[in-house]
Amino acid sequence: MMAVLPQLTSVNAYDYGLIALYFGIVIWVGFYSAKKNQRTEDYFKAGGQVPWFMAGVSNWVSGFSAFMFVAAAGYTYKHGSGALILFTSAFWAYLAGAWYFGPAWRRVRITAPLEFLTKRYSPSTTYFYTVTAILPQILGIAQGLYILCIFVSAALGLDREVFHLLGFELTGLQLCMLSVGVVMILYSVVGGLWAAVLSDAVQGVIILVMSLLIFPISLTFVGNGGGLLAGIERVFSDLPREYLIPSGQPVNPAFMSAYIVSVFLGYNVAWHLVQRYNSVASERDARKMAFLCAWLSLVGPLLWVLPVMAAKLIFPDMAVLWPNLQAPEEASFVSLAMLLLPHGMIGFVVAAILSATLGQANDAFNWLAAATTKDVYVPLRRRCGFGEASDHHQLRVAQFTMLVVGVAGVAMSFVISKLGGAFDFGLKYYSMVGPAFMMPVLLGLVYRKTPWWSGIASCTAAFTLSIGLFVLDVWPEHAYPRNVFSAVIASTVVFVVSAFWYRADDPKSAKAIQLDRDLRKPVPDGPVPVGGLRDYAMLAWVSALLGAVLLCCWFLPARPPASATVNAVAGVLLFVIAGLLWRVSKPRAG
């Protein structure tokens, strides 16, 4: 290992300019998308007109957020090759989506994700899920924003600064959370699901270029002049044996079993994924989308994990570089970027990590707004005697809901920052909340002959057992598998037992019976979405713009080991991507 840590490049005005350009593009995409939202169906599911490739890239990007570049990078830095087992596991989950869940969700034929609960169980189930999910979603948005901005504020050198804004004193972290939060809320409220899909596509381009560059550059640097292969050889020869052979959690049967269950649920029945499957034109497109996500989920982590393993050789003591971070190893990926990339590309990397988290937050906004509007507000308005809400009125209610949830998430991030964050607690919290909510969705999709109350009953049982074991501090050393398996077992047992009360002649079973018929009836292939082709052209222009900016950055001064040539290579890659997208955007003859 190196005795002296390399000196990192600090972010300068050029990097800030590129980050500002990215923010401007994201906001513009929001207003571009707003033109497509003529109906609530457009706002919530993009009118079923999203090309499968865009939907797949969007879903892949929104699935990992800053977690992959921050928390997953930290895990890889500490534990080594076992990270490959964990972070490529989505590949198998998406294959299940291609085989069953993608086509099934397309056959459900819904506008808002939680509409499935009304069809399968009852309106009461939808109300239950919507009300109980609001606080966890706000906390999830807040925690994601907080984790992201710890990283971004440190990378931009804002973590030690204090700012005064409109009479308020804000730390650099708080100013970062406020700025990113405002952008996140603005483009989400204005653009709906179209904004999520199109901005995710922009983010996918950024992340692809960054990943294709950081992989060879980092390993070549480790090779000490011997090239890429020498770098790979050094990684396998100089790192400890226990670092190269999976150990700990990835080979622990209890942990891995629980992790696989969580991944399977998260990548097949999470509400944001339901939206993506219903945003494409046919179930054939849904299947293609799942296959694309599967391969991206396999190749992507390989491009991110191996460079972070190389960072173990380059930065043997991350705490010296990042003394203000509670988990300095989580800055390993950005440290590579700030060492090996020139100005321009550094801003590009920060923008990429920002972009991933923004996409995930937009998904949370969208499905929660859809559920609140379609499945709670509209039925309650009808029951209270106010008549039917117009489509335009529903659209405004959804936008207002997104605004409220977004503001609450930003405000909660300020509270979390005061409390110190507790990221490890957040992971355990997800293991307690996620399976309990998702198991009744999975069970109800696969088997339809249970009574209307079985969804609420199985969800309540899952929460009761998992929270009970947590309060009693049972198996604290195995908290993660305890939370996951308690929710899975409790919900499954109650769901199975409830089937004994199912009656086909009960009027409340009519919707479930109709759902069963729908799931057996394929969705016919529709025409190729012409609007989607125009969106490929839009993305081509954005890629070309970013490529031109990076080519201009070729002339910026750079110091070793960062080379200004990297900006030129990135610019050329973006122009190649732009050309491919432009070609795809042209309608095929005949």
Q: Which of 298, 266, 296 is closest to 97 using CA atoms?
A: 266
- On whether both 396 and 268 belong to a single domain, the answer is yes
**Residue 425 confidence (pLDDT):** 52
The whole-angstrom distance between residue 327's C-alpha and the CA centroid of its chain comes to: 22
Both 396 and 539 in one domain: the answer is: no
The answer to whether position 487 is within a domain reads no
Residue 121 in any domain: the answer is yes
Report yes or no: 346 and 553 within 8 Å, Cβ to Cβ. no
Residue in this structure with the two tokens 């692809």, named with its chain if needed? 208
Number of domains present in the structure of the chain: 2
53 within some domain: yes
Question: Does 454 map to a domain?
Answer: no
Question: CA nearest 352: which of 205, 213, 218, 214?
Answer: 205
Domain boundary among 398, 421, 444: 421
Which phi and psi (to 5°) does residue 145 adopt?
A: -65, -40
As a whole number of angstroms, the distance between CA 545 and CA 553 comes to: 13
Q: In the beta sheet, which residues pair with residue 487?
A: none
Instruction: Point out the domain boundary residue: 406, 421, 436.
Output: 421
Q: How far is the C-alpha of 426 from the C-alpha of 410, rounded, in Å? A: 17
End-to-end CA distance of the chain: 61
Q: What is the Cα–Cα distance from 120 to 290, expressed in whole angstroms?
A: 23
In a domain, 5, yes or no: no
Residues 6 or more apart whose CB falls under 8 angstroms from that of 266 comprise 93, 434, 438
User: Contact, 305 vs 84, CB < 8 A?
Assistant: yes
Looking at the structure, tell me whether residues 46 and 176 fall in a common domain: yes
Residues 493 and 461: beta-carbon distance below 8 Å: yes
Residue 427 lies in a domain: no
In a domain, 76, yes or no: yes
Whether residue 150 contacts residue 418, with contact meaning beta carbons closer than 8 Å, is answered with no
Separation of alpha carbons 498 and 328, rounded Å: 49
Amino acid symbol at 297: S
State how far the Cα of 139 lies from the Cα of 16, in Å rounded to an integer. Answer: 29
Query: Cα dihedral sign for 192, 193, 196, 197?
Result: negative
Domain span at residue 544 reads 534-590
The single residue listed with the structure tokens 């999709």 is 445
Residue 152 lies in a domain: yes
pLDDT of the residue at 571 = 92
Q: What is the pLDDT along the chain (590 residues), one digit of tens a residue?
A: 444 567 777 778 888 888 888 878 877 776 776 665 555 555 554 555 677 887 888 778 766 666 677 778 888 888 888 888 888 889 999 999 999 999 999 999 887 777 899 999 998 998 888 888 777 778 777 877 777 777 677 767 776 677 877 777 887 778 888 888 887 777 666 655 565 667 777 777 888 888 888 899 999 999 888 888 998 999 888 888 888 888 888 888 999 999 999 999 989 998 878 878 887 888 888 899 999 999 988 988 888 888 999 999 998 888 887 776 667 887 888 888 888 888 888 887 777 677 666 666 666 666 677 777 777 788 788 888 777 778 778 778 877 887 888 888 888 877 776 654 444 555 666 787 889 999 999 999 999 999 999 999 999 999 999 999 988 989 988 888 999 999 999 999 999 999 999 999 999 999 999 999 999 998 876 655 555 567 778 888 888 998 999 999 888 887 788 888 999 999 999 999 999 888 877 766 54
Q: Which of 421, 443, 469 is the last residue of a domain?
A: 421
The CATH code of the domain that includes 342 is: 1.20.1730.10
Please answer whether residues 209 and 574 qualify as being in contact, where contact means their C-beta atoms are separated by less than 8 angstroms: yes
Is 169 in a helix, a strand, or coil? Answer: strand
What's the confidence (pLDDT) of residue 421?
A: 42
Half-sphere exposure of 464 (CA within 13 A, CB side): 9
